[in-house]
Amino acid sequence: MEQSGIHAKHVCKSFGKAQVLCDVSLDADAGEIVGIVGNNGSGKTVFMKCICGFLKPDSGEITVGGQRVGKDCDFPQSLGIIIETPGFIPHMSGMRNLKALAALRGIIGKQEITAVLKSVGLYEARHKAVAKYSLGMRQRLGIAQAIMEDPDVLILDEPFNGLDASAVETMRALLLTLKAKGKTILLASHNAEDIRILCDRIYEMKVNLK
């Protein structure tokens, strides 16, 4: 039977002599929000990049939506991502940025983009240049980009950076709605409250001192 969600087994990754990931395993099933916690340097972002296919592990296996990353596919299908600061074209509006990204695959149109901008609270600012967005607005646009094509799996690395308390509440509610729809969500956050409120299970990563 095809496995949904994310399943990582015994993943290792080094850069030169520095081993960042050592025997990391994780399971995140459909309809779950799974948290990753750990200090800076513990490998959270590197691990997420391996799941997305951006980095190739030295050993181990990662399966997303039943496909082995790096074997069955280079990049998992139906995946929404926020890793590090979202990048957009500054002189273009939020709407135009999302339209340009959506055009790459051609599976959604203006109606879906409008709906997602409303869901993250950016509809009123949709025609404003991204250069004039605050850090929190750019972060919300990044969340919109990650979810706009209705992916089955979301990889979210510190998605609430720069958001005020009200926006954080809105985004938490949005993630819980996506969870209820059966999405698999992998969330890294330094905020213990995010993890406590949102996550069904938590994995702790520690800095490898070897």
CATH of 1-78+151-210, one of 3.40.50.300, 3.40.30.10, 3.40.50.10800, 3.40.50.850: 3.40.50.300
C-alpha closest to that of 153 among 16, 20, 28, 18:
28
Per-residue model confidence (pLDDT) at position 87 = 82
Per-residue model confidence (pLDDT) at position 3 = 65
Per-residue model confidence (pLDDT) at position 59 = 96
Per-residue model confidence (pLDDT) at position 85 = 73
Per-residue model confidence (pLDDT) at position 209 = 58
First to last CA, the chain: 39
pTM of the predicted protein model:
0.92
**Per-residue pLDDT of the chain in tens (210 residues, 90 and over written 9):** 346 899 999 999 999 999 999 999 999 999 999 999 988 888 999 999 999 999 999 999 999 999 999 999 998 889 999 987 778 999 999 999 999 999 999 999 999 999 999 999 999 999 999 999 999 999 999 999 999 999 999 999 999 988 999 999 999 999 999 999 999 999 999 889 999 999 999 999 987 655
Per-residue model confidence (pLDDT) at position 132 = 96
Domain(s) of CATH 3.40.50.300: residues in the chain:
1-78+151-210
CB 23 within 8 A of CB 210: no
CB 176 within 8 A of CB 112: no
DSSP 20-81: EEEEEEEEE-TT-EEEEE--TTSSHHHHHHHHHTSS--SEEEEEETTEEBTTTBSS-SSEEE
Per-residue model confidence (pLDDT) at position 84 = 78
Per-residue model confidence (pLDDT) at position 204 = 93
Per-residue model confidence (pLDDT) at position 41 = 84
Per-residue model confidence (pLDDT) at position 1 = 37
